Amino acid sequence: MLKKRIIPCLDVRDGKVTKGVKFLGNRDIADPVELAKFYSDSGADELVFYDITASAEGRGIFTDILKKAASTVFIPLTVGGGIRTLDDFDRVLKCGADKVSVNSGAVADKTLISRAAKRYGSQCVVISADVKRDNGRFVVTARGGRDNTGLEARDWIRYCVSEGAGEVVLNSMDADGVKGGFDIEMLKYVCEGLPVPVIASGGAGKPEDFVRLFKELPWVDAGLAASVFHYKEIEISSLKEMLNKNDIAVRL
């Protein structure tokens, strides 16, 4: 039986995981490679590296880190952040990424997904959407939530899937950082019935939130979170034990 996936997300800026990470003994770790290894050893099913550097120099540091991570952990790696062209796909795939996630880049260039899917295969192309409520609609935002694109999320994601996106990450901007649980209502409206895997993001605050996610929306394939894992508010190994006890299939 296919397992539900638990995916920590690492935001990387200038070679470091932002927000630092306050655990592993009493030591702060901000080294993305070390953290990737720690998560992989704890049972993470996949990792997302999000490049939040703006400079070309930062880009170079990021790809070096990616290479090191891909030589150290042997689970699937998804890379996102600043992906706008096929050259960007090429750059991160050559450094060991398995999948590439596009967000603002796909909004800016509506052909990016289909061109990437033709060249690298749909399994490689992830559409990640930052979505918020706006006057009773679910709309897609770009540039880390700063721009309202006006695109209706349900239609936008279906368009991206029809263009060849092989996986969907739905990040609720309304739930993000609130730690009140995943945005079940938004996920259900925007993603139910999609023919490709769906990864829920935004809102996880405690292990029970993952249980509720997979119980209420059994078609959701994975749960993604960042700070709750970084701050050890949720430990992946005990989270997976809890899911298992609740009859949700996970890799133990």
Partner 1 sequence: MIAIVDYGVGNLFSLHSSLRALGFDAENVTSAQKLRDASHIILPGVGAFGDAAKKLCEAGLRDPLIEEAKRGKPILGICLGMQLLLSKSFEFGEHDGLGLIPGSVRSIAETIPAGLKIPHIGWNELRFTEHPIFSDIRQGDSVYFVHSYHATDCPNVIATTDYGATLTAAVGKDNVVGCQFHPEKSGPVGLKILKSFCNMR
CB of 128 to partner 1, least distance (A): 16
Instruction: State which residue, 42 or 149, has the beta carbon closest to partner 1.
Output: 42
Which of these segments, 57-65, 93-101, 171-179, 227-235, binds partner 1 (CB under 8 A)? 93-101
Q: Which residue in 94, 110, 137, 143 binds partner 1 (CB under 8 A)?
A: 94
Residue-by-residue DSSP string for 165-223:
--EEEEEETTTTTT-S---HHHHHHHHTT-SS-EEEES---SHHHHHHHHHH-TT--EE
Q: How distant, in Å, are the alpha carbons of 29, 79, 168, 251 from that of 222?
A: 25, 16, 10, 12
**Total residues in contact with partner 1, by rule CB under 8 A:** 30
Alpha carbons 46 and 110: distance in angstroms, whole number: 27
End-to-end Cα spacing for the chain: 13
- Contact between 166 and partner 1 by CB under 8 A: the answer reads yes
Structure tokens at 154: 């349900």
CB of 117 to partner 1, least distance (A): 11
CB of 78 to partner 1, least distance (A): 12
Cross-strand partners of 8: 225
- Contact between 72 and partner 1 by CB under 8 A: the answer reads yes
Catalytic: 130?
A: yes
CB 106 within 8 A of CB 146: no
Q: Which of 45, 51, 88, 130 is catalytic?
A: 130
Interface with partner 1 (CB under 8 A):
1-3, 5, 40, 45, 67, 70-72, 74-76, 93-96, 98, 121-124, 166-167, 195-197, 221-222, 251
Which positions are annotated as active-site residues? 11, 130
